[in-house]
Chains A and B, each alone.
Chain A
Amino acid sequence: MSALLITLESSTRLLDPLRSFIGSLVSPIYVVAESPYLLTNAVGDVLATREQLQQKNRDLERRVLELSQISQQYVALKAENDRLRELLGSQGRLPYEVLIAELVGVIPDPTTFQIIIDKGADAGLSVGQAVLDAEGLFGQVVEVNRFTSRVLLLTDRDHAVPVRINRNGVRSIAGGTGDMGSLVLENVAISADIVEGDRVETSGLGGRFPPGYPVGIVASVVVEPTSAFAEVLVRPSALLDRSRHVLVIFTPQPQIESNDANTDGVVDLDQGEAAPATNGVENAQAGAT
């Protein structure tokens, strides 16, 4: 019976409703397990001294000023970018909506990196959405329950994300290593122009992750004379083991529902790739490769 269930789950999505139903029932356990941390935070807020609060407030105000200056430029740049895209005849990029979620649990198994966040199907989440924190790409949603969701972090061994080098647009795939502090760029040719310190960002290929979000910074490039590929390690920008608040991205969906009515072959092909069809963990690979 167990074997049947395990096989069913690994090959089909039939068990997803069962999973998310049970998930809704057990989600309070995560909240209880996480309560010491939630309580410490709450108590810390209450006990903070006046000076600390004032200091924090000053810091935040300074940060707001910096960011608003950047966002003013951003508006102008976006307008210019849209104009140029129009000249080229390509579609303008749609803005992404985000939803702030809080971490309520961590999957205890040290061989995998997954967290539970406090937004679920009720908030409109669906499997495959990208998750960010304040510094960069965090992971993707792999399971949605009623009130909570499970997020696979990008350093998990089963996770992979299509990326490009910010400086020159060299494309690659950043796979997790099972180590919280590093990602590895897969199948990078020795001749590829990647050096230490390069910024790595999502390329948007595969349709799962929106393009242009920071993934990390190249930490080391090792070229072995005997190997056809360079070994490139990337340090993720997101604070994977510290962030308590994350952003879930809602990608605006171009109308891809009416597959049959669509006569344009190219678009059809795109949809086939972008449609989230497979299950959870394998998804990351499927979406990426």
Chain B
Amino acid sequence: MNPANGGWLIALTLVAAMLLGVVHLPETWPGWLGWLRPNWLILVLFFWVIEVPHRVGLIAMWITGLFVDVLYADPVGLNGLILASVSYLGWRFFERLRMYSVLQQCGILFLLVLGAEVLSVMVLGLGSERPWSWHVLVSALVTMLVWPLMFLLLLRLRTGLRVE
């Protein structure tokens, strides 16, 4: 099989995740809904890195992170660090993670997103007055709950398009 098969799909889903990250709700909807945004990027990346770890490069992820930083108006380098760390952890333990049940994977994702959110709050705190809040927990919880659906969707895409 062509080794380059499906690389575009990985890139496309990552771009879609970034897009979902900046979509905002209509102004008339209550503001607290905005807190329930899952961390789409980590979701998508986590799937690809445990399914096809050899296709997800650390440096590529770090550079993707630069784009995400600018898109989300975060300090340059922050998301690169997060994405590269998630890729590394996934790549290191992908055999084990693949064997886990969905519930266990949810737990792992919860910890990953929690770590990522805490890290970004700490880094953002260096240069601004944003406070700590329960936001970090909410985002991790929502991400965890979305994972089974995301997993099924991406798995279908992956098998349908034969990404190896």
Contacts and interface: CB of A to CB of B under 8 A. Distances in A.
A281 B128 contact: yes
Interface in B1-46: 15, 18-19, 21-24, 26-27, 31, 34-35, 37
A10 B126 contact: yes
Interface in A56-112: 105-112
Nearest to B35: A110
A207 to B, nearest CB: 22
Contacts of B22: 29-30, 33, 105-108
Interface in A16-50: 18-19, 22-23, 25-26, 29-30, 32-33, 37
Given A26-B70, A112-B73, A158-B130, 5 more contacts: A5-B80, A6-B76, A6-B77, A29-B22, A33-B19
A2 B77 contact: yes
A111 B135 contact: yes
Interface of A: 1-6, 9-10, 15, 18-19, 22-23, 25-26, 29-30, 32-33, 37, 105-112, 114, 143, 150, 157-158, 178, 180, 241-242, 281-282
A157 B125 CA distance: 12
Nearest to B77: A5
A70 B127 CA distance: 44
Contacts of A180: 31
Contacts, number: 103
B34 A108 contact: yes
B60 interface: no
A18 B80 CA distance: 14
A157 B128 contact: yes
Interface in B98-154: 123, 126-131, 133, 135
Given A1-B77, A18-B76, A157 B129 contact: yes
B89 interface: no
A157 B130 CA distance: 7
11 contacts: A1-B77, A2-B81, A5-B77, A9-B75, A25-B67, A33-B23, A107-B72, A112-B130, A157-B129, A157-B130, A158-B128
B62 interface: yes
B155 interface: no
Task: Identify the 6 closest CB pairs spanning chains A and B, nearest first.
Answer: A5-B77, A2-B81, A2-B77, A22-B70, A106-B24, A33-B22
Contacts of B123: 6
Contacts of A241: 27
A29 B18 contact: yes
B31 A110 contact: yes
A9 B66 CA distance: 13
Contact of A158 (B15, B71, B129, B133): B129
B67 A108 contact: no
Nearest to A244: B27
Contact of A6 (B15, B23, B72, B75): B75
Given A26-B67, A33-B23, A106-B24, A4 B77 contact: yes
Contact of A9 (B19, B35, B76, B135): B76
A191 B31 CA distance: 36
A109 B72 contact: yes
Contact of A32 (B19, B67, B72): B19
A29 B19 contact: yes
B73 A107 contact: yes
B133 A10 contact: no
Contact of A111 (B15, B70, B126, B130): B130
Contacts of A281: 127-128
A241 B34 CA distance: 13
B24 A108 contact: yes
A112 B73 CA distance: 10
Contacts of A105: 22, 24
Given A6-B77, A109-B72, A33 B24 contact: yes
Contacts of A143: 73
Contacts of A110: 31, 34-35, 135
Nearest to B126: A10
